[in-house]
Amino acid sequence: MTTNPGPLAGLRVLEFASIGPGPHCAMLLADMGADVVRIEREGGNGWPNPVADRGRSVLVLDIRSEAGRARCLELAEQADVLIEGFRPGVMERLGLGPEVLRVRNPRLVYGRMTGWGQDGPLARAAGHDINYIALTGALAAIGGREGGAIPPLNLVGDFGGGSMFLAFGIMTALWERERSGQGQVVDAAIVDGVSSLMSFFAGGRLSLDRERNLLGGAAPHYRCYTCADGREIAIGPLEPQFYREFLERIEAPASLYEGRDDPANWAAHGQCLAELFATRTQAEWCALLEGSDACFAPVLTLDEVPQHAHLQARGVYQELDGMQQAAPAPRLSRTPGLARTSLRLEADAPVWGTRAG
C-alpha cells in the first residue's frame, strides 16, 4: 500500500447512491484521494458495480426516516462536496436540498447529476443515455449508411457528457471557493455536457451526414474491417503521410492512392480494403502494422484489453478485489491517484478518515 495520499486528500465527499454517472464521478474523486462517504439504501441501488463503486466508506441509511435524515444533515455539515443523482425536487422533498444544506454549511459544493437538467420542460421526465444523446444531435451521426442510429454504449451521454462534466464542475466550484469562501450548486445535465462535446462538429467543417461522415465510419480509411479469422481491426490514417505509409505496408492496389477524399470513391475503396484485410488474420495484421504510423489497432474485447503489451507496460490495469480494474486517470507526476477497495460501516460509526486503503 502506498503512503501517497493523492492530490484530493482531505476533501470530504458525501455521495447519495445512484446509477451511472454519479457513481463514476465519485470513483474519480476517490481515486484521487478524496474521502468519499456513500449513503446507500438497504439492498443497494440495484446496479452493484465493484469497479465503479470502489474507494468509498458506505453507510446504509433510510433517508426517508427522521433518524436517517438527521444523519445525512450531520454528514453534510462536515462535507466539502455532495453528489446526488435524483430527479429534480426529490432532495428538496427529503429536506436535503441545497437551500437547506448550504445554510448549515455555506462552503458546500452541491453537485447535481441529471439527464435533462434541473429546469426546462423535460426536467422531471424519465430518460436514459440514448434519449439524451438523441436530443443533442450526437446519436443521429452514429450509424451506418443503412439502418437506424446505433447507440454507442452509454459512453457519450452518461460518462462523456455526464460524470466528466460533473467532476469538472465540482472542481471549478472548489477552485472558486478558495477565493469566495462560498460553495455553490453544480447543475450537471447530460444534455448540456453532450452539447458541449458536439462543439467540435458544430464549429468545424466535418459533415455529420452518415454517408459523408469522415469520423463516423463512412470513409474507408477510418473504419473497422473483418480479418480472415473473424476478428476485427481499426484503421484511421487521416493525414496524407500516414495514409501513404498505410497503403505501402499493406501493399494496396494503385487505385487506392487517388481520390481518397471523394465520397464517390468510398464504396469502391472500402470494398477493396475489405477484401484485402480478409486475407490475413488479426494477429498477422498486428505484426505488420502495429506500432507504425499507419494508425492501426486491433479491436479487442474488454477481457483482452488488460493483456495488451502497451497497456501492460503503462500499468493501465491493476488487480483490486480479485479483478482487473482500470487504474486512476489521469496520471499525476508527484501525487498520483490510487484505486482502493470500499468499506461498509455501521450507521452510527465515525465516517471521515475510515475509507479502506
Q: Which positions are annotated as active-site residues?
A: 128, 158
Q: Which residue has the cell 463503486?
A: 53
Query: Residue-wise over 281-302: b if at least 16 C-beta within 10 A, else e?
Result: bbeebbeebbeeebbbbbebee
How far apart, in Å, are the Cα atoms of 320 and each of 47, 264, 274? Answer: 19, 51, 40
Percentages (nearest 5) of helix, strand, coil residues in the chain: 35, 15, 50
Cell of 303: 477481457
Tallying the residues shown for the chain, one arrives at: 357
Cell of 298: 486491433
Q: Which amino acid is at 28?
A: L
Q: Which amino acid is at 295?
A: C
Are the CB atoms for 218 and 211 separated by under 8 Å?
A: yes
Cell of 173: 466550484
Judged by DSSP in three states, 84 sits in strand
How far apart, in Å, are the Cα atoms of 269 and each of 20, 99, 257, 272, 276? Answer: 40, 60, 10, 5, 11
Give the span between the Cα atoms of 276 and 268, in whole angstroms. 12
Give the span between the Cα atoms of 99 and 89, in whole angstroms. 12
Give the span between the Cα atoms of 254 and 217, in whole angstroms. 22
In 3D space, the residue among 52, 76, 29 whose CA is nearest the CA of residue 170 turns out to be 29
Are the CB atoms for 188 and 126 separated by under 8 Å?
A: no
How far apart, in Å, are the Cα atoms of 12 and each of 1, 64, 137, 173, 357? Answer: 21, 23, 37, 14, 16
